[in-house]
Every structure is written in C-alpha cells, then in structure tokens.
Copies of this chain bind each other. A is one copy, B any other.
Amino acid sequence: MKIAIDGMGGDNAPVAVIDGAIQALKAYDDIQLYITGPEEVLNIELAKYTYPKEKVIVVDAKEVISTNEHPVMALRKKKDSSIVKALNLVKEGICDAVVSGGSTGAFLAGCTLIIGRIKGIERPALAPIMPGRRGKFMIVDVGANVDCKPSFLVQFAKMGKIYYQKVFSVKNPTIGLINIGEEEEKGNELTKAAFKLLKEESSINFKGNIEPREIPTGDTNILVSDGFVGNTALKMYEGSASSILGIIKDEVLKSSIISKIGVVLLKPVLKNIMKKFDYKEYGGAPFLGVDGICIKAHGSSDARAFKNSIKQTKIFYDNNVLKDIRNEFSSEN
C-alpha cells in the first residue's frame, strides 16, 4: 500500500510527521510512504533515522498552506504546496491514501476539488471516532458541511454505517440523529425533515433522535448531524473533558495533604482515563464520500498520532471501505 503524507501539515510538522512516519514503517511491513514538502527540510529530518530507504519517497513541494489562508484560494494559488502535492499523488493513482495534519479547510476542499466525490455522493463528510463511556462513537459530519439538506444526513448515515461496520466489525451499528428532543416532531427544520427520511431507510439501524446528553455514553455508534452541530458536539466534548479534569486539578491543588495523597494513589486510574480520552490513540478523522482514502489528522498531532493516522489508512484500505461506499451509492444514481 502506498500512502501520501503531507510532510508540512500540523503544528508539529515536519518533525512529528517524519517521526510518526518512521514509527509506522517499522510497525507495518506492507506500506510505502510518499512524503511531500521542501526536499531539503524533509531530508534533514529523515537523516535522523535508520529505515529501509526504498520505503520512503520524498516528493518536493516548496509551498505550505497555513490554517489562516482561505482554503480554496490557497489551493488555487499554491499548486506547489505539500497538501496539493499529496492530494495529486492519490488523484494520479500513485498512492492509495493521503494523510494530512494541515489546514482542515484546505485539506477538505482539496480532497473534493482534486480527488473528487464518489459518484452519487452529494457531500462528503468528516467523521471522527470518539471515546464514549461504554464504547466508541462516530459523528458524521463535524464541519465539512455547515449548512445541510436533509438528504445529506441520510448519506452520512449510510457512509458511517459502512465505515463503522467494516473497521470495527460491528454487524449492524446503531445510528442516531442528533436532536434537542427525543420525539419525532422535535427539532429544527433540518432535523424534522431528516428524521422522516432516515426512518424510511430500511438498510440502516436507525434509533431515532439522540439528545446530546446521551452522546458521550457511547450507546449509539454513529451520530449524524449537520457539520455545525456535529462540530459543536465534538468540541464541547473535548472542552468539557479538559475543563472537568482541570477543575479536578484546581480542587486538588487547593485541598488538604490527605486529598493530595489520594491523587497519588489514584494515578494509575487517572492515567487510564487520560488514555481513553486521548485522540492520539484514535488516529485522524476519515473524510467519507471522496473517491480516495483521505484522513485528516488533528492539527496538534504528535508522532504517535501520525503513526495511528497512517495505521488508520491501512485499516480503511484492508477492509475495502471505499469499494463498499462506491457500490452503495452507484446504485443510487
């Protein structure tokens, strides 16, 4: 399998990207990495490691797209950027997958504009996996489509189902519509219309409306929503976890010596919890609906997160997720 990697994408690029890439090479025999970015910069980083040289191809790209640039304008202007070059490798059939920790806007727009949508897909969707209390859950979409039509959400559900089914070997994953009430008639114009469509889809295991309060339990495998609401749910979850653990820390600092001893005794437990909430364990978020394996790594990814994002492209590839999505939607149009 050949994987294109945006060598300059992310807050810790290129150091963490190269480090993660080398870790992935050592863990998986059957991959070859095409890393894009300024040749001289990447080579300096690569020179720090020993690895089978034939497994890494540096693809020179002189430009970098920053997160502050307008995505589509930047893609047009910076043809020689690490993101564009990495996406082209997939478009041209040289690579089977692409990973980037760079500008989310530019990467998603680039996936759609350069690689293109799968036939029959109205809008691709970004679909991260999150840790819940009783299991992993996936939100589709978390920001690629801020204003949605009801039909988009049905496609999100179908794509999410295929991904979750194949990647986590769950036969008939449960699907919920994020809504502010359980009853069918609750919600805004979008969710009311989407509920009707989802209910009619016999191919999915639709559980109805799921209130945001229930999302973190992990009892529903896949949650669909427009990208604005999905992003709000995702970021609120991350923010809550971080603030709550922060409050615990604040309170412990103010507390008695006895409580402080308590924390020391609890260290192994707290470590397990932190691990559970560590997105770096989960790799990146697949961008479902584009005609290629496209993984958006977190902007603040470290080497382990990049390694796991590469692992994720492998799982995506080995399980034929792309072919299944193509088949599902080719029959629709």
Q: Is the CB of B178 within 8 A of A232?
A: yes
Q: Is the CB of B228 within 8 A of A180?
A: yes
Q: Is the CB of B188 within 8 A of A147?
A: yes
0/1 string, A33-70, CB within 8 A of B gives 1 = 00000000000000000000000000000000000101
Q: Is the CB of B229 within 8 A of A214?
A: no
Distance, CA A228 to CA B192, complexed state (A)? 12
0/1 string, A240-281, CB within 8 A of B gives 1 = 111111111011100110110111111011001100100000
Asked if A208 is at the interface (CB within 8 A of a chain B CB), the reply is no
Residues of B within 8 A of A268 (CB): 255-256, 259
| Identical subunits present | 2
Name the residue on B nearest A264 (C-beta): B262
Asked if A237 is at the interface (CB within 8 A of a chain B CB), the reply is yes
Asked if A289 is at the interface (CB within 8 A of a chain B CB), the reply is no
Q: Is the CB of B273 within 8 A of A180?
A: no
Which chain A residues numbered 160 to 193 have a C-beta less than 8 Å away from chain B?
Answer: 178, 180, 183, 185, 187-189, 191
Q: Is the CB of A265 within 8 A of B261?
A: yes
Residues of B within 8 A of A122 (CB): none
Asked if A235 is at the interface (CB within 8 A of a chain B CB), the reply is yes
Q: Is the CB of B273 within 8 A of A248?
A: yes
- A–B complex contacts, Cβ < 8 Å, 8 sampled: A143-B180, A180-B232, A211-B235, A212-B236, A217-B239, A256-B268, A262-B263, A262-B266
Q: A212-B236, A228-B229 are in contact. List 4 more A-B contacts (CB 8 A).
A: A180-B235, A240-B241, A240-B244, A261-B265
